[in-house]
Structure 1
Amino acid sequence: MRILVLNWRDLAHPAAGGAEVYTEQVLRRWVREGHDVTLFAAAVPGRRAVENVDGYTVVRGGNRYDVYREARVWWRRHGRGRFDVVIDETNTVPFHALEWVDDGARTIALVHQTCEEIWHVNAPFPADLLGRYVLEPNWLRRLGHGPILAVSESTRDALARFGAHDVHVVPEGYEPPPLPAHPAKEERPTAVFCGRMVGYKRPLDVMRAVVQARREVPDLRVWMIGGGPDLERLRAIAPPGVEFLGRVSEEVKHDRMARAHVHLATSVREGWGLVVSEAAALGTPTIAYDVPGLRDSTRAAGGVVVPPHPDALARWLVELLPRWQGGIPPVPYGGAHSWDEVAKTLFHAVDEHARIPHGH
Structure 2
Amino acid sequence: MRILVLNWRDLRHPAAGGAEVYTEQVLRRWVAAGHQVTLFAAAVAGRPATEIVDGYRIVRAGSRFTVYREARRWWQRWGRGRFDVVVDETNTVPFLAHEWVDDGTPTIALVHQTCEDIWPHHVPPLAAQLGRHVLEPWWLRRLGGAPILAVSDSTREALTRFGARDVTVVPEGYEPPAALPVVAKEEQPTVVFCGRMVSYKRPGDVVRAVELSRREIPGLRLWMIGGGPLLNRLRERAPAGVEFLGRVDEGVKHDRMARAHVHVATSVREGWGLVVTEAAALGTPTIAYDVPGLRDSARAAGGIVVPPRPEALARWLCELLPGLRRQPGEGVPYGGARPWDEVADTLLAAVQRHARVPGAAAPLAPAA
Common fold, TM-score beyond 0.5?
yes
Indicate the structure whose relative CO is greater, using CA pairs within 8 Å and at least 6 residues apart: 2
**Helix, strand or coil: the match of 2:149?**
strand
**Helix, strand or coil: the match of 2:328?**
coil
Spell out, residue by residue over 1:186-212, the C-alpha distance to the aligned partner (whole angstroms, 9 max, x if none): 111111111111111111111111111
Shift of 1:120: 2.1
The residue identity in structure 2 corresponding to 1:73 is R
Q: What is the CA–CA distance in structure 1 between the aligned matches of 2:251 and 2:48, rounded to whole Å?
A: 28
Spell out, residue by residue over 1:259-305, the C-alpha distance to the aligned partner (whole angstroms, 9 max, x if none): 11111000101111111111100100000000011101100100000
User: Is the CA contact (8 Å cut-off) linking 2:181 and 2:255 kept in structure 1?
Assistant: no
The residue identity in structure 2 corresponding to 1:170 is V
Q: Give ranges in structure 1 of 5+ residues lacking alignment.
A: none
User: Is the CA contact (8 Å cut-off) linking 2:263 and 2:286 kept in structure 1?
Assistant: yes
Spell out, residue by residue over 1:63-98, the C-alpha distance to the aligned partner (whole angstroms, 9 max, x if none): 211111111122122222211111010011101111
Matched residue, 1:122: 122
Q: Give ranges in structure 2 of 5+ residues lacking alignment.
A: 358-368
The residue identity in structure 2 corresponding to 1:138 is W
Matched residue, 2:28: 28
Shift of 1:179: 2.3
1:138 corresponds to 2:127: no
Q: What is the CA–CA distance in structure 2 between the aligned matches of 1:180 and 1:301, rounded to whole Å?
A: 17
The more displaced of 93-102 and 132-141 is 93-102
Q: What is the CA–CA distance in structure 1 between the aligned matches of 2:96 and 2:77, rounded to whole Å?
A: 18
1:51 corresponds to 2:79: no
1:206 corresponds to 2:180: no
The residue identity in structure 1 corresponding to 2:217 is V
The residue identity in structure 2 corresponding to 1:241 is G
Q: Call closer, same or farther: CA 1:308–1:180 in 2, change over 3 Å.
A: closer
Matched residue, 1:333: 334
Matched residue, 2:19: 19
**Helix, strand or coil: the match of 2:115?**
coil
Shift of 1:103: 1.6
Matched residue, 1:170: 170
Q: Call closer, same or farther: CA 1:212–1:130 in 2, change over 3 Å.
A: same
TM-score, L = length of structure 2: 0.94
Q: What is the CA–CA distance in structure 2 between the aligned matches of 1:40 and 1:355, rounded to whole Å?
A: 20
**Helix, strand or coil: the match of 1:183?**
coil
Matched residue, 1:296: 296
Give the share of equivalent positions with the same residue, in percent.
76
1:248 corresponds to 2:248: yes
**Helix, strand or coil: the match of 1:13?**
coil
Q: How many residues align?
A: 356
Shift of 1:310: 0.3
Matched residue, 2:361: none
Q: What is the CA–CA distance in structure 2 between the aligned matches of 1:122 and 1:102, rounded to whole Å?
A: 34
Q: Call closer, same or farther: CA 1:300–1:180 in 2, change over 3 Å.
A: closer
Q: What is the CA–CA distance in structure 1 between the aligned matches of 2:52 and 2:194, rounded to whole Å?
A: 31
Matched residue, 1:342: 343
